[in-house]
Amino acid sequence: MRVFLILALTPAAAFAQTATPTILDRVQVTATRLAEPARDVPASVSVIERGDGRTDALGATLSERLATVPGLLARDRHNYAQDEQISIRGFGTRASFGIRGLRLYLDGVPATMPDGQGQVSHMPLQFARRIEVLRGPFSVSYGNASGGVVQVFTDDPASPGSARVTGAMGADASRRVSIEGNDQRGAFGWLVGAQHFATDGFRDHSAAERTLLHGKLVFDGDATHASLVLDTLDAPHAQDPLGLDRAQFERDPTQASPNALLFNTRKSVEQRQVGTVIEHGGLRAMAYAGRRDIEQFLAVPVSTQGNPLSSGGVVDLHAPYSGVDVRWSDGAPGATFAWVAGLAYDQQRQDRLGYENFVGDTLGVRGAMRADQTDRVDALDPYLQATWRPSDAWSLTAGVRHSRVRFRSDDAYITDANPDDSGRVTYTATSPVFGIRWRANDAIDIYAAYGEGFETPTFNELQYRSDGGSGLNFALQAAQTRSMEAGLKFARGGMRTEFTLFQASTDDELTVNTSAGGRTTYQNAGRAERTGLELSGDVPLGGAWQAEFALTWLDARFTDGFLACASTPCTTPDVPVPANSRIPGLPRGAVQIAVKWGGDVGWHARIEGAYVGAVRVNNFDDESAPPYAVFGASAGYGFAAGDGDGRVFLAVDNLGDRMYAGSVIVNEANRRYYEPAPGRGATIGFEWRWH
């Protein structure tokens, strides 16, 4: 802890040296939809650039790039049939798959659907040059499920053109190769790339592969900028090892759950997406369309499917989606008054078929049809935001967004024992946000913000009813959150630190009720509260040395008591969860620190460590994943030769070969909560760019 006290006090010591020249912050962010320096925004924003040393890794998951972002917990589940677990300030932990409670964007195009569920599996991370993470009240200006915002921006074409190839190979036959070419001629530019990843998996029954294609066309004229972006994902037959109970986890963390082998649990995903952004003067128009197809084999017991209301154990989902966002803005960065007004509309259809996961005595195959429904969701959101700077020292930013989210389900599978379960529900909310910033001097900014947001249940959370009945759980209410934060930003020369206090109070908190066999039901748990602090920074250590650190303390609790299910089957919650119980899935404390040396040319090295506190795995607080501390290191060499430049590297993860749970499945009814992380493993990689 002493090292963090020293790092926290470093800004004050540097500020006392008034003779040190100040280099103004040139990092531009788009968190408030108007590009401006990060320190001018009255909000907590982190920016991760490609050249910060975090790319000496396998390059398969977003979590590799987000290690030192405060308030954010990114967990690589090492289960590629499911998406990563990402939470910000305690929002997003309840998801057993996919990402909830956060807004995700790729090159300005939503990667979160209008119902609030997102995924990052289709993001071509090897081409990601920049990632922005927005935390706190200003997230609500992005609409439904905005507990935080993660935006990924990929490479743009450049002149002269170049070609780049990168590759990496690690433990468990994990390998990744990426190729990219781009060029810019006058106002027109193009970029095309491909990325392939495959692994045998460190656990039994966890092999997977993914192939991504990424393309971009750009027009950059005197007054008009336009881009067209295409992304595709093919991920066939990713095996799902499921979670382990505590005894299984401690005995052999490499094993798969017996049910995973019995039913050959697996998931196949295909996604195609195209998006365009056109900017002319103060006008910006974005439109996108795509389709995501999923086939998933679950471990639903045959006996459970004997219920005529069961929808089977195989999900066949086809989900086209599209949307537009048009806005007008006026006012350059630093102007006395600037504003933006816009209208967003997003829609998604899910054609969902359900089948039994057996034929006779053969398990893990598609059997008889058990469900046929079409689900639709659309969201309409007008919004307005403005910033007023009465002086160089003060700025005030205020905004409002009104959201209407409509869900509709049309049931086409109707029998004498399975009634028509069609239905619809509409959620509306008005989300105001307000922030104020005071520049105390050239080095220090102090800010505060308040916002009110909401989160609807997603279609996957509406999908199943805990009472065993068929049809969607339209009794679920949207969660309503009031959040506030106050913080201090320090920037002088190459040093940046930020300290933030925050609190978020939620009504109708959404939580897991039951989770078994790949199916999860949800309920509203009354009020919840998340209180915490964040401390982060980049500190030059002299010469070519640099340190990064992030410390997060979070107290997240259900302030109301409620009833929940403690076992399966369970159709009526009957076990009390006392008031002030901790929200599961969240550590109280987390610390990340990294020290790096070197630059792009010559030798470079990085060593990093992470501590994550104990994580409660269910609402009843009778079991926890133990705390852990892990360390990793990497070293590499950058060089130039002829018409190109490149680098090679070696990285070692989990230097201490520690066994720990990298993620947990919250409230898993069979107590299979644990998803183990691998032991010590080495990765070697290379990059070469032709100019």
Among 143, 654, 116, smallest CA distance to 430 is for: 143
User: What would the two tokens of residue 392 be?
Assistant: 């160089």
User: What would the two tokens of residue 294 be?
Assistant: 């999923």
Which residues are CB-contacts of 688 (< 8 A; sequence separation ≥ 6)? 164, 165, 166, 644, 645, 646
Which residues are CB-contacts of 512 (< 8 A; sequence separation ≥ 6)? 94, 96, 520, 521, 522, 619, 666, 667
Q: CA-CA distance, 431 to 66, in Å (whole number)?
A: 28
Angle at Cα 340 formed by Cα 339 and Cα 344, nearest 5°? 165
User: What would the two tokens of residue 531 be?
Assistant: 């209180």
Mean pLDDT for the stretch of residues 482-501? 94
User: What would the two tokens of residue 203 be?
Assistant: 């656990």
Q: What is the pLDDT at residue 87? A: 92
Mean pLDDT for the stretch of residues 346-373? 96
State the burial class of residue 285 (Cβ atoms within 10 Å of its Cβ: 0-12, 13-18, 19+): middle
Of the chain, the percentage scoring pLDDT greater than 70 comes to 93
Of the chain, the percentage scoring pLDDT greater than 90 comes to 72
The alpha carbon of 43 is separated from its chain's Cα centroid by a whole number of angstroms, namely 19
In this structure, the number of other CB atoms found within 10 A of the CB of residue 420 comes to 12
Of the pLDDT bands very low, low, confident and very high (cuts 50, 70, 90), residue 1 is very low
What architecture is the 2-690 domain classified under in CATH? Beta Barrel (2.40)
pLDDT at 4 exceeding the cut of 70: no
pLDDT digits (tens, 9 = 90+) for 217-242: 999 998 999 999 999 999 999 999 99
Q: What is the pLDDT at residue 15? A: 38
Give CA separation, 265 vs 54, 198, 295, 427, 567, in Å.
Answer: 33, 18, 11, 35, 22
- Conformational region of residue 680, where left means phi above 0, alpha means psi within -120 to 50, and beta covers everything else: beta
Q: CA-CA distance, 342 to 344, in Å (whole number)?
A: 7
Q: CA-CA distance, 384 to 141, in Å (whole number)?
A: 9
Phi and psi, residue 687, nearest 5°: -145, 140
Phi and psi, residue 335, nearest 5°: -65, 155
Q: What is the pLDDT at residue 156? A: 93
In this structure, the number of other CB atoms found within 10 A of the CB of residue 507 comes to 17
SS3 call for 4: helix
**Would strands 162-170 and 148-154 be described as parallel, antiparallel, or unpaired?**
unpaired
Counts of helices then strands in the chain (DSSP H, E): 4, 42
Angle at Cα 319 formed by Cα 314 and Cα 323, nearest 5°? 160
Q: Which residue has the higher pLDDT, 85 or 433?
A: 433
pTM recorded for the entire structure: 0.92
Q: CA-CA distance, 104 to 352, in Å (whole number)?
A: 24
Q: CA-CA distance, 55 to 596, in Å (whole number)?
A: 12
Do the Cβ atoms of 529 and 554 come closer than 8 Å? no
Q: CA-CA distance, 238 to 386, in Å (whole number)?
A: 46
pLDDT digits (tens, 9 = 90+) for 298-345: 999 999 888 888 889 999 999 999 999 999 999 877 789 999 999 999
User: What would the two tokens of residue 61 be?
Assistant: 């998951």
Do the Cβ atoms of 140 and 453 come closer than 8 Å? yes
Which residues are CB-contacts of 199 (< 8 A; sequence separation ≥ 6)? 60, 80, 172, 173, 174, 175, 206, 207, 208, 209
pLDDT at 7 exceeding the cut of 70: no
Of the pLDDT bands very low, low, confident and very high (cuts 50, 70, 90), residue 690 is very high
User: What would the two tokens of residue 511 be?
Assistant: 């939580």
